[in-house]
Amino acid sequence: MKLFGHICMSLHRAESSMRWAILWALLGLSVAQHDPHVRQGRTAIVHLFEWRWVDIADECERFLGPNGFGGVQISPPNEHIVLNNPWRPWWQRYQPVSYNLCSRSGNESELSDMITRCNNVGVNIYVDAVINHMCGGAGGEGTHSSCGTWFSASTKNFPSVPYSSWDFNDHKCRTGSGEIENYGDAYQVRDCRLVGLLDLALEKNYVRDKVAEFMNKLIDLGVAGFRVDACKHMWPGDLAAIYGRLHNLSNKWFPDGSRPFVYQEVIDLGGESITSGEYSHLGRVTEFKYGAKLGTVFRKWQGEKLYYTRNWGEGWGFMPTGNAVVFVDNHDNQRGHGAGGASIITFWDSRLYKMAVGYMLAHPYGVTRVMSSFRWNRHIVNGKDQNDWMGPPSHSDGSTKPVPINPDQTCGDGWVCEHRWRQIKNMVIFRNVVNGQPHSNWWDNQGNQVAFGRGDRGFIVFNNDDWDLDVTLNTGMPSGTYCDVISGQKEGDRCTGKQIHVRGDGHADFRISNRDGDPFVAIHAESKL
Of 451, 446, 454, 449, the residue nearest 430 (C-alpha): 454
Distance CA 54, CA 57 (A): 5
Residues 6+ apart with CB under 8 A from 313: 321, 363, 364, 365, 366
351: number of Cβ within 10 Å:
13
Residue type (1 letter), 515: R
Distance CA 163, CA 133 (A): 11
Is 261:36 a contact under the CB 8 Å cutoff?
yes
Of 363, 322, 304, 112, the residue nearest 217 (C-alpha): 112
Helix (H, G, I), strand (E, B) or coil at 47: strand
Distance CA 142, CA 151 (A): 6
Residue type (1 letter), 19: R
- Residue of 167, 238, 265, 518 marked catalytic: 265
Distance CA 150, CA 139 (A): 12
229 part of the active site: yes
- Residue of 110, 229, 418, 484 marked catalytic: 229
Is 344:334 a contact under the CB 8 Å cutoff?
yes
265 part of the active site: yes
**Distance set, CA 259 to CA 246, 249, 287, 471, 518 (Å):** 8, 6, 22, 48, 40
Distance CA 344, CA 328 (A): 7
Distance CA 461, CA 443 (A): 9
Distance CA 77, CA 108 (A): 9
Distance CA 73, CA 227 (A): 8
Burial of 379 (0-12, 13-18, 19+ CB in 10 A): exposed
H/E stretch holding 444 reads: strand 439-444
Question: Would you name the residues annotated as active-site residues?
Answer: 229, 265
